[in-house]
Amino acid sequence: MGDRPKRIPECNNFKKTGFCRFGARCKFSHIIDKPDIIQELFSELEISKKPSSSVKVGLDSEKQKELRQFLRSYIPNEKQGVIQEHEYDDYEDDVSSDDELTEEEKNREHEKVLEDKYQHIPDSVFKRKFLQNIVGNFRASKGIPRDIPCALERNATLDFNLKTKLTDQMQNSPGYKRMMQVRSQLPVFESKDYILDMIKENQVVVISGETGSGKTTQVAQYILDDFILNNRGSVCHIVCTQPRRISAVSVAQRVADERGERCGESVGYQIRLDKQLPRKQGSILFCTTGILLQWLHSDPGLSHVTHVLIDEIHERNMDTDFVMTVIREVLPQRKDLKVILMSATLNAEQFADYFYKCPIITVPGKLYPVEKYYLEDIISMTGYVKMKQRKPRPRQDASYNQFSDMIVPYVLSLRHKFGEVVIDQLLQPDSEALNLELYQELIEHICENEGPGAILVFLPGWDQISNLCRMLSSSSFFSIIGVPKQASEDRDELEFENDEEAEKREIKILTGNKDRQFLILPLHSKMPTVNQSQVFDPPPPGVRKIIISTNIAETSITINDVVYIIDSGKMKVKSYDAEKNVSVLQDQWVSKANAVQRRGRAGRVQRGKCYHMYTKARERLFDDFPTPEILRTRLEELILTIKLLELGKVATILNRIMDSPNPKTVNLSLKLLETLRALDGDENLTPLGFHLAKLPLEPHIAKMIILGAIFSCVDPILSLAACLSFKEPFFMPLGQDKEVMAKKIIISKGNKSDHLVLAEAFRLWEEVKNKKEARKFCWDNFLSMATFRDLRKLKIEFAEYLHEMGFLKSKNSKDESANTNSKNFSVLKAVICAGLYPNVAIVERVQRFTLSGKLEVVVRTPEDGNVKLHRSSINESQLSFESPYLVYHSKMKSSHIFLHDATMVSSLPLILFSHKVYYDPTGKVIRVNDDIAFHCAKDLATLVQELRQEVQKVLDTLVMEPGTVDWASNDQKTKILRAAAELITSEDTTQQKTENDVKEGAKKRK
């Protein structure tokens, strides 16, 4: 006899309290008493253990009867009760084994099997493109080559005109000659002929240049001018990628100025939400790396491009690494394509080796000497002494031990150089903390004791930037001039901190007296481009410019008047922990390479100074180079891009990247895409996945907007998608958390949904955006008008995508026919649920702390155990929940695991829109996953199964045959969608009524 299976002991914590902080990782068993739903579709779901807190949610018996009659009216009798939910299964290998078949014939049979899998889809443009993609991926996996010639055609007239204009400028234009005089002083100019020769002789070249060498602005011009002067300008189109929007725009504008033009002639740029394209031939286009990836979707061989310049490759962001891999794959098919990789002098050999040991051209930089100061020097020169606090208890954690091991020997070596005050400050465990008071002291010290020149401060994130701006504005050393009247009344720091429009037009000059004036400018990647551009403009005479920035100012951009650098040594890094399947956002120390780049921002026009806000001992512990982004992030969007570009098997391509990602991360991302029904089990795109891959959004949000179009609630869903993919319009000034939350709760209209708050705020702003009260509306509700403007551009872009894909009749997201259900919050929440699944959390209970009286919503996820709602969520302070289920946009680990942007959803959306549901053999249990299951009568279970089956079939059909849904029609598909919407609404209404009855009963008892 075999051994009996070992019985796993029951978890005492879970048994007593109903929750366990270890969740699915607990080594003991969690036995869950599932709620019974015999009388209603879904019945009592306990949110807390108190009987009075249990609520009824679901459909009454009359609704059940209507649903049965509705489903029976069109489901053939022989199919009733038989659940055949459509799945995208792996295709079976039915290829003939005939040894006489050639390899090409075998491949064609494989392709036929793939095509037959979707033979049920009617012929359409979508079907042909979709099948072409499936077959293209198969061919790529087999290594079948493609030959892609350059599509640019020689135009003799254009060649003549371009040469005539350039020659005339060189000979007769004083402005062009002045610019040429400046350009000729750049270090890269001495290598001009050598660079051109190497590019002609090699398909790939690495140009390694120090900061200030001129490689970013000059190399593309050398290539273009060489083509033009040799009567070949019409067959030259150069694309130069930049890692950031601000870099692409500023470099394009600088290059256009040097050529005596405006952007839009021989030079242009394209970034998301903004573009000024040059002519198609004889031109240079600067763009973000993401834009180039989008072009590769429609033109895999870049057939209209002759040269690709990839700048700042040493930053190792994921898009740049992936573009290099794709370009390397394209090179054998485009033997006439030239690739120029441009890097700082750091680690250039690694990139050359990756491109088969291509040649490296090293260009020296042009920098004035930069003096370096460290924390010990800064404390000494400013005389700053941190206020003494009660001595904390000694910490024995790893970080403290590391700090102690580092600092004690170093401080002992400094005793002969610095006094006891400095030594004492350095020995404090929090001496390396980001202390904005010390930054303020240092800025004031520079302004009082150093010569003219702009100050550039590097801080990790927007919170620190806005806080330092506020501190400077309220300092006795500075005072505000020109503050808007409304700001000066009660919340003068509010607009300064967060309203980008105010930063642009009103909060500019800060002054202590008539002889000392300052221009303070924050700089962050998510600020509007028009605001970012101000940092390049020279300040008025007698005004010192102070730029407070993230690492956006570290590379690519050049601010010529910067003389002083204040380097925090920190950067905000988002990473992904594959073992715990959670994203982590935290401030981290920079690498030595980052520190060198930051220091290099000074000394462009004269001798500079760099103040590092960390000790020299800490710098010795820095990594040499930053960790490549691809090793610390999720990969779903990248995988969809790989499939859309027809590059073949995911693992094969990812293994070809310079630093291959963790296989566990790859597998988790593949699994999630299968759960979203974007990939089948053999890594092929599904029809839905084909759509998702074409949208410049994370897959969850992309799926949401497609379903928003199908369920005719497109406008609020696009508003939400814009906020989730960019940033929300709310801001939270220091000390006003409660005021902001109060406004959010008003806007929520009683819905326990952060997502609906965003959509509703957007709707309210759009109603007044062209009226005088728009600014007051934003001010009163802690909303940023400038952010709304950027979000509206995104909405327009998303609507255009949906229109091009066939899901919208017009590009107008407010078209009435596309918004039948836009005021139905129940349907909106269901669409949000369908998009965000499997991101589901379960509310265990709401508890109140006895002493403080503070409420805490106890929430868990199956994989993490106990988690917390972020403090910005309106659900974080709710007294009760009608349903225990929350869908959330993201979870982030910092001090705890926090859920961001959560919406309470009822049971029916989870059953209808989850990846799969499992049915007990007895027919009495419907299970969504291990933590979400419902007991019900057998006939009721069959009813729910049939509804889910029909809804999924309709959605599959509408995705496979993209088209608009007419919600006013009576065709079968619309009837099913309408029935689902009505049932979801009915369940929500029942829940709300029950909750209201419970509250009313509680009031009466009091």
pLDDT at 144 over 80: no
Is there a domain that residue 212 lies in? yes
pLDDT band at 493 (very low <50, low <70, confident <90, very high): very low
Give the H/E segment covering residue 834.
helix 825-836
Identify the CA nearest to 675 among candidates 703, 655, 654: 703
pLDDT at 191 over 90: yes
Same domain, 263 and 281: yes
pLDDT at 62 over 50: yes
pLDDT value of residue 79: 43
- Across the range 453-474, mean pLDDT stands at 87
Residue 560 burial (C-beta neighbours within 10 Å; 0-12, 13-18, 19+): exposed
Q: Hey, what are 617's tokens?
A: 């001992």
Beta bridge partners of 520: 546
CA distance 286 to 268: 6
Point out the least confidently predicted range of 149-163, 464-478, 697-711, 860-874.
464-478
Residue 185 Cα distances to 165, 179, 209, 216, 379, angstroms: 24, 10, 15, 15, 39
- Across the range 305-327, mean pLDDT stands at 94
Residue 223 Cα distances to 233, 235, 342, 839, angstroms: 10, 12, 14, 50
pLDDT value of residue 623: 92
- Across the range 178-193, mean pLDDT stands at 94
530-577: per-residue pLDDT in tens? 455 677 778 888 888 999 998 877 876 678 889 999 999 999 888 888
Same domain, 445 and 503: yes
Q: Hey, what are 169's tokens?
A: 């400028």
Q: Hey, what are 704's tokens?
A: 């949401």
Residue 390: CB partners within 8 Å, gap ≥ 6?
A: none
- Across the range 985-1000, mean pLDDT stands at 71
pLDDT band at 400 (very low <50, low <70, confident <90, very high): low
Mean pLDDT, the chain, integer:
82
- Across the range 675-700, mean pLDDT stands at 93
pLDDT at 249 over 80: yes
Residue 530 Cα distances to 543, 727, 888, angstroms: 21, 17, 33
> Quick one: what percent of the chain has pLDDT higher than 70?
80
Is there a domain that residue 59 lies in? no
pLDDT value of residue 4: 44
pLDDT at 721 over 90: yes
Helix ranges (H only) for 230-340 are 245-258, 289-298, 318-330
pLDDT band at 916 (very low <50, low <70, confident <90, very high): confident
Phi-psi domain of 826 (left: phi exceeds 0; alpha: psi -120 through 50; beta: other): alpha
Q: Which domain holds residue 340?
A: 156-363
Q: Hey, what are 179's tokens?
A: 């610019």
Phi-psi domain of 264 (left: phi exceeds 0; alpha: psi -120 through 50; beta: other): left
Please report, in angstroms and rounded to a whole number, the separation of the first and last CA atoms in the chain.
64
Is there a domain that residue 274 lies in? yes
Identity (one letter) of the amino acid at 326?
V
CA distance 210 to 995: 66
pLDDT value of residue 566: 97
Higher pLDDT, 686 or 504: 686
- Across the range 664-690, mean pLDDT stands at 94
Same domain, 326 and 374: no
Locus of tokens 């799945």: 87
Yes or no: say if 852 and 818 are a contact pair by the CB < 8 Å rule. no
pLDDT at 838 over 90: yes
Same domain, 311 and 376: no
Same domain, 329 and 239: yes
Residue 84 burial (C-beta neighbours within 10 Å; 0-12, 13-18, 19+): exposed
CA distance 78 to 70: 16
CA distance 333 to 352: 20
Same domain, 236 and 271: yes
**Helix, strand, or coil (residue 840):** strand
- Which 8-state DSSP code applies to residue 395? P
CA distance 10 to 30: 6
CA gyration radius for the chain? 31
pLDDT at 401 over 90: no
Same domain, 322 and 193: yes
Using the Cα atoms of residue 840, residue 844, residue 849 and residue 855 in order, give the sign of their dihedral. Answer: positive
Is there a domain that residue 242 lies in? yes
Same domain, 379 and 327: no
As for how many domains the chain has, the answer is 2
CA distance 898 to 10: 28
Point out the least confidently predicted range of 3-7, 759-763, 801-805.
3-7
Residue 254 burial (C-beta neighbours within 10 Å; 0-12, 13-18, 19+): middle
Yes or no: say if 807 and 962 are a contact pair by the CB < 8 Å rule. yes
**Helix, strand, or coil (residue 240):** strand
**Helix, strand, or coil (residue 599):** helix
Identify the CA nearest to 552 among candidates 571, 537, 566: 571
pLDDT band at 103 (very low <50, low <70, confident <90, very high): low
Same domain, 213 and 308: yes
CA distance 719 to 799: 10
pLDDT value of residue 734: 58
- Which 8-state DSSP code applies to residue 360? E
- Across the range 376-395, mean pLDDT stands at 73
Determine the Cα angle at 22 with ends 19 and 27, to 5°: 105
574-599: per-residue pLDDT in tens? 888 877 778 888 889 999 989 998 99
Same domain, 302 and 188: yes
Is there a domain that residue 225 lies in? yes
pLDDT at 264 over 80: yes
Is there a domain that residue 131 lies in? no
- Which 8-state DSSP code applies to residue 369? -
Give the H/E segment covering residue 544.
strand 543-549
The backbone torsions φ and ψ at residue 868, rounded to the nearest 5 degrees and listed phi first, read: -125, 145
pLDDT value of residue 14: 52
pLDDT at 82 over 50: no
Determine the Cα angle at 491 with ends 485 and 497, to 5°: 100
pLDDT value of residue 818: 94
Is there a domain that residue 217 lies in? yes
- Tell which of 590, 609, 629 closes a domain: 629
Higher pLDDT, 3 or 64: 64
CA distance 480 to 32: 61
Is there a domain that residue 340 lies in? yes
> Quick one: what percent of the chain has pLDDT higher than 90?
48
Residue 576 Cα distances to 238, 588, 608, 701, 810, angstroms: 35, 14, 38, 19, 39
Residue 810 burial (C-beta neighbours within 10 Å; 0-12, 13-18, 19+): middle
- Tell which of 629, 648, 677 closes a domain: 629
CA 305, 309, 314, 319: dihedral to nearest 10 degrees? -20
Q: Can you give the CATH number for the domain in which 329 is found?
A: 3.40.50.300
- Across the range 41-54, mean pLDDT stands at 33
CA distance 345 to 343: 6
Same domain, 320 and 378: no
Q: Which residues of 335-372 are buried (b: 16+ CB within 10 A; e: fewer)?
A: eebbbbbbbbbbbbebbbebbeebebbebebbbeebee
- Across the range 432-440, mean pLDDT stands at 91
Q: Hey, what are 14's tokens?
A: 């879970």
**Helix, strand, or coil (residue 102):** coil
pLDDT value of residue 69: 65
Same domain, 374 and 301: no
- Tell which of 583, 609, 629 closes a domain: 629
The backbone torsions φ and ψ at residue 933, rounded to the nearest 5 degrees and listed phi first, read: -150, 150
Identity (one letter) of the amino acid at 436?
L
